[in-house]
Structure 1
Amino acid sequence: MGHKSTAQDVAREAGVSASTVDRVLNNRGGVSEAKERRVFAAARRLQLDRALDPRAARTLRIAAFVQPPTNPFHAALATALQAQNRGPNPFNIQSRIFHADAARADETARRVAAAGAEHDAIIICLPHDVSLALVLQRLADSGKPVVTLATDIRCRGATYVGPDNHKAGRLAAELMGRFLGQAGGDVIVIAGLLTMIGQEERQAGFQQVLAERHPNCRITGVFESREKGDLAGDLVYRALRRNPLIRGVYNESAGATSVVDALRRLGRLDDVVFITHELTADRRPLLQSGAIDAVIDQNPELEVETALRVIAAFYNRAEGDGIPAITPVNIYTRENC
């Protein structure tokens, strides 16, 4: 019969005292995060039975920064985070949601720095900004995990969780080209903020595929709605008034309802192809009615679950190998929504 691991074995493996192991495994507190991670890693390697259920560890506190719930996708992210707080919670993680204005980067950077000092990890879904990236990099360098969610931020040490946005943009272009057919036509792109790397990548992928495979589909304008839904509709309305030859609208961000309203006011709802992202509650009936032709959805629930698993793995509360940080996307039309 093989040797059954004990707390003394874990202490030797982790390079700490037996009393430290006792405090960690029995949730007595008073142990640094670095030592706690070493103890749990050693306990997992040695397969110490009572260390395999991480719920006995102290609660990890996560600060999650998303845009206000007026943006339907960010509302879905917040809902998914709240659901994880209320669910089985096998990794003993609690997330606190912070709403941040995408246009106020300096203020957000200060808030992230303050939250980072009081929390065990950061999850963030906001545009890239140099000051924000520096704050996140400092937190990562200090040993706290940073997860950029759905859209990346260029900083050393962060882990991106979300779809391959470049491929998602290419997928949108392939759909647009096939819907418009051989005749093609003029197409406009409505981005929320091109400082959001995910939207920048979507636009690049979209442009590439139209140029490669559907040259008769011409992008005649790229506009930014500043993540404001009403402005997205206004931009579409004005663009179609100026150029009635527009046959396609690719909206990367908020404002699906206002875009549909603009098309309806112009009497163009039936002859303009409208493709967008995120199958949120407001977009589902528009898709079912045919006002939206296709939605590319990235599953915010799966993204949140993956982000929390990445953080749990950092703290040795989950296996770190094999976690797919790039999450899939799905195409929805009125027939499968």
Structure 2
Amino acid sequence: MAHKPTLEDVATLAGVSIATVDRVVNRRGGVRPDREGRVLAAARRLKLDRQLGRAYAHRLRVAVLIQSAVNPFHAALGRAFANLDRSYLDLNIQFLVHHLDPNRPDRIPGLIDRLARAHDGLVVASPADDGIAAALRRAAVSIPVATLATDVPGSGRHAYVGPDDVKGGRVAGELIGRFLAAAGGDVLMITGLRSMAGHRDRESGFRAVLREHFPACRLIALEESREMAQGAGDVAAAALRSHPGLKAIYLSSAGADRVVAALKAAGAPNVVFVTHELTDDRRALLQVREIHAVVDQDTSAEVQIVAEVMARLLGRLDGSAPVPLAPVRVFTPESC
């Protein structure tokens, strides 16, 4: 007959006393979080017949630092964290959303420092500069840090969860090139903030694919919206006035509804419009053919992945989780 695991076996594997194991498994409290994690990891490995996921007495708090819900993509991220399945409650991990202003990067390092002192882990979707990278390096010394949706080079983060934005930009360029066909024409790109690594990567991929495969498509301007919807609309309106023959707009950030409004006001229904992220508002615009195509990265899947990564980094799940790049998906009016 196979040996049934005992508390002594768990204690030996975890390197703690039997009394510590008893306090953890029976939820008596008073055990340091690192020891608690070792006990429960050992018990899972030994397949101890208990509901171990519910035995974590110490709650771990993970700060999630993203933009406010004014940005539809970040609103979707916030909803996805709110809708994480019950397994993270069973693991006693709480994800707490906080907001940053991407146009005030000078305030972000201090915010990171404060959140790192008060939380057990940190997930960040932020612009990138030396001060922000340094703050993340400080945080990563003591707690797990993951970047989400856009990376921060030089940050010392433990994981990046998000898309290959160079590929996303290339896909957008491929779509516009094929929509315009051999005739090509003038193209406007509207980015959010070039201080965000993801936006720079999209620009790089977009430029490269036009240069390599669609030389008749001319990128006449690249403008920042500052991650503001109205900013995107204003840039589009100005470009339509100064370039009446504009053939396509590529928007890599917020403000799709404002770009559509600018196209309508200019009487330019035939301008090709490609953007990113299949948020609810963009799905609606796509369904009525105000947008030609959307390049999407599946925010819900990204949040599930980063939550699992955090649970593993915090010792609440066993093993090291691979972090695949989020797949790039394309939606048209007939497929959304």
TM bin (shorter chain)? over 0.9
Tell me if the contact between 2:188 and 2:221 (Cα under 8 Å) persists in the aligned partners.
yes
CA distance in 1, matches of 2:122, 2:151: 13
Letter in structure 2 aligned against 1:302:
A
For residue 300 of structure 2, what is the aligned residue in structure 1? Answer: 301
CA distance in 2, matches of 1:88, 1:118: 19
CA distance in 2, matches of 1:158, 1:225: 30
CA distance in 2, matches of 1:245, 1:158: 47
Distance 1:320 1:216, change over 3 A: farther
For residue 39 of structure 1, what is the aligned residue in structure 2? Answer: 39
Distance 1:316 1:158, change over 3 A: closer
- How big is each residue's C-alpha offset from its partner over 1:119-138, in whole Å with a ceiling of 9 and x where there is no partner? 11111111113222222222
CA distance in 2, matches of 1:87, 1:47: 18
Shift of 1:321: 4.4
- What is the Cα-based RMSD across aligned positions, in Å? 1.8
CA distance in 1, matches of 2:216, 2:90: 52
Letter in structure 2 aligned against 1:251:
L
Letter in structure 2 aligned against 1:306:
I
For residue 11 of structure 1, what is the aligned residue in structure 2? Answer: 11
Shift of 1:162: 1.1
CA distance in 2, matches of 1:158, 1:242: 46
CA distance in 1, matches of 2:333, 2:18: 61
For residue 238 of structure 2, what is the aligned residue in structure 1? Answer: 238
Distance 1:11 1:116, change over 3 A: same
Distance 1:182 1:281, change over 3 A: same
Shift of 1:230: 0.4
Letter in structure 1 aligned against 2:215:
P
Distance 1:210 1:280, change over 3 A: same
Q: Which runs of structure 2 are paired with 1:192-211 in the superposition (5 Å)?
A: 192-211=192-211
Letter in structure 2 aligned against 1:32:
R
CA distance in 2, matches of 1:84, 1:309: 10
For residue 215 of structure 1, what is the aligned residue in structure 2? Answer: 215
CA distance in 1, matches of 2:240, 2:274: 16
Specify every segment of 5 or more residues in structure 2 that has no aligned partner in the other structure, as ranges: none
CA distance in 2, matches of 1:150, 1:104: 19
Tell me if the contact between 1:141 and 1:157 (Cα under 8 Å) persists in the aligned partners.
no
For residue 256 of structure 1, what is the aligned residue in structure 2? Answer: 256
Shift of 1:105: 2.2
Distance 1:88 1:44, change over 3 A: closer
Tell me if the contact between 1:59 and 1:92 (Cα under 8 Å) persists in the aligned partners.
yes
TM-score, length-normalised on structure 1? 0.93
Larger mean CA deviation between 241-250 and 286-295 belongs to 241-250
Letter in structure 2 aligned against 1:28:
R
Tell me if the contact between 1:137 and 1:158 (Cα under 8 Å) persists in the aligned partners.
no
Distance 1:335 1:319, change over 3 A: farther
Distance 1:285 1:68, change over 3 A: same
Letter in structure 2 aligned against 1:181:
A
Letter in structure 2 aligned against 1:74:
H
For residue 136 of structure 2, what is the aligned residue in structure 1? Answer: 136
CA distance in 1, matches of 2:181, 2:80: 38
Larger mean CA deviation between 81-90 and 220-229 belongs to 81-90
- How big is each residue's C-alpha offset from its partner over 1:44-100, in whole Å with a ceiling of 9 and x where there is no partner? 3322232x6423213321111110111000011111111127787443322111111
For residue 64 of structure 1, what is the aligned residue in structure 2? Answer: 64
Specify every segment of 5 or more residues in structure 1 that has no aligned partner in the other structure, as ranges: none
Shift of 1:33: 3.0
Letter in structure 2 aligned against 1:210:
L
Q: Where do 4+ consecutive residues of structure 1 move more than 4 Å?
A: 85-88
CA distance in 2, matches of 1:16, 1:293: 61
Letter in structure 1 aligned against 2:301:
L
TM-score, length-normalised on structure 2? 0.94
Shift of 1:36: 2.7
Letter in structure 2 aligned against 1:150:
A
Q: Which runs of structure 2 are paired with 1:139-218 in the superposition (5 Å)?
A: 139-142=139-142, 144-154=143-153, 155-218=155-218
Q: Answer yes or no: is 1:289 the counterpart of 2:288.
A: yes
For residue 318 of structure 1, what is the aligned residue in structure 2? Answer: 317
Larger mean CA deviation between 99-108 and 88-97 belongs to 88-97
